[in-house]
Amino acid sequence: MKIRTLKSSLSKAGFIYLKKRGKGSHTMLRHPANHVVVVVSGKDSKEAKYYQIKALNIAIAKTSANAWSFTNKLIGEKHDCYWY
């Protein structure tokens, strides 16, 4: 899966591209309803790493109605800071 596919999946899920944020190959996207911010690193033509795909799934799950139960099962209740 390419980085551009990750970005398009996030924008289809309702995330907005934040202009003038991020440096170099880092891109910031934010969901308007939940204020979940995702930083995607890498050029669009590169392959996405496993942790980036996992973070994408967590970010999309956090924007859904039952997000807290999904993320707590996935990464544990003690963590409330997520690195993307």
Task: Write out the E strands in 1-84.
Answer: 16-17, 26-30, 37-41
DSSP strand pairing (16-17 vs 37-41):
unpaired
CB burial string 57-73: b at 16+ within 10 A, e below = ebbbbbbeeebeeebee
CB burial string 18-30: b at 16+ within 10 A, e below = eeeeeeeeebbbb
Lookup: tokens for 82: 């997520």
- pTM as predicted: 0.68
Q: Give domain limits for the chain.
A: 3-74
Question: pLDDT tier at 75 (50, 70, 90 boundaries)?
Answer: very low
pLDDT digits (tens, 9 = 90+) for 10-69: 888 888 988 877 678 888 888 888 788 888 888 889 999 998 888 888 888 888 754 444
CATH of domain 3-74: 3.30.920.30
